[in-house]
Amino acid sequence: MRSLTRSHKTIAATLLAAAVALGVTGCEDGKDNSSRSKESKARNSNYDELVARQPARTGSYSPTRETKNFWIDTWMKTPNKLSYVYIQNANGEYGYFILKGLPVTYCVSLLPPEVKTGGDLGQYDGDLIVQGPSMDGTYSSGSNCNAYYGKDATTGAYVEFSVGQNQSYFLYDKPLDLPQFQDAKPMGPSRIEDVKGNTR
């Protein structure tokens, strides 16, 4: 192997110095000085300062958890507990259904609405998340969440109703003697008189 001459050494040293200079410049150019980066840093800094001045407080009681537990105590401890569904139409008139259990929207499914499956992603194969079939072998969308169904309290008949389009509903676990419900008419087979004495 030939030894480097003085001129070769000079050239090599010059190239090395240039490479170092370019590397330093490249590092400096690599810094993100964009407006978005500056605003992101300002946001994070501001958040840190606010948290330091006003940290989230802790509590010894959660009214939200208490209400969740109330819902569980009301609906999950008595099979076939009756629910009273009062429906108000656009004219302010009321009707009602009496159901075993809660009314259920068509958006509720016993199975996860999506499944993982293998698929062709072009150059590679991979997993895709796709809509899964319902238990009846069909596919449903989230567009009919305003349709509800349930089981009539005394006959077991299938009952279905919808809300929206100036129609809304109010649900209770017992019949209420409120002025607006005095003239409410039964919209299903069961009447309040039919279930009087039912303590569920």
Q: Do 1 and 100 reside in the same domain of the chain? A: no
Q: Is residue 80 part of a domain?
A: yes
Query: What is the Cα–Cα distance from 88 to 65, expressed in whole angstroms?
Result: 30
Q: Does residue 16 register a pLDDT over 60? A: no
Q: Do 152 and 199 reside in the same domain of the chain? A: yes
Three-state DSSP state, 113: coil
Q: Do 86 and 100 reside in the same domain of the chain? A: yes
Q: Do 199 and 173 reside in the same domain of the chain? A: yes
- pTM (2 d.p.): 0.67
- pLDDT the model gives residue 126: 76
Query: What is the Cα–Cα distance from 188 to 2, expressed in whole angstroms?
Result: 104
Mean pLDDT of 30-42: 84
Q: Do 128 and 190 reside in the same domain of the chain? A: no
Query: What is the Cα–Cα distance from 169 to 187, expressed in whole angstroms?
Result: 13
Q: CA 172, 175, 178 angle in degrees (round to 5)? A: 95
Q: Do 157 and 123 reside in the same domain of the chain? A: no
Q: Is residue 193 part of a domain?
A: yes
Q: Do 130 and 151 reside in the same domain of the chain? A: no
Q: Do 156 and 194 reside in the same domain of the chain? A: yes
Q: Do 196 and 153 reside in the same domain of the chain? A: yes
Q: Is residue 92 part of a domain?
A: yes
Q: How confident is the model at residue 34 (pLDDT cuts 50, 70, 90)?
A: confident
Q: Do 14 and 86 reside in the same domain of the chain? A: no
- pLDDT the model gives residue 24: 47
Burial label for 158, CB within 10 Å (0-12, 13-18, 19+), is: exposed
Q: Do 177 and 192 reside in the same domain of the chain? A: yes
Task: Pick from 44-58, 123-137, 165-179 the range whose average pLDDT is largest.
Answer: 44-58
Q: Does residue 28 register a pLDDT over 50? A: no
Query: What is the Cα–Cα distance from 53 to 33, expressed in whole angstroms?
Result: 29
Domain span at 116: 111-140
Q: Is residue 166 part of a domain?
A: yes
Q: Does residue 87 register a pLDDT over 50? A: yes
Q: Is residue 84 part of a domain?
A: yes
Q: Is residue 58 part of a domain?
A: no
Q: Is residue 56 part of a domain?
A: no
Q: For residue range 149-182, what is the model confidence (pLDDT) as tens digits?
A: 999 999 999 999 999 888 899 999 999 889 989 8
Q: Is residue 190 part of a domain?
A: yes
State which of 140, 155, 186 marks the end of a domain: 140
| Count of structural domains within the chain | 3
Which amino acid is residue 96, in one-letter code?
Answer: Y
Q: Do 155 and 195 reside in the same domain of the chain? A: yes
Q: Does residue 25 register a pLDDT over 60? A: no
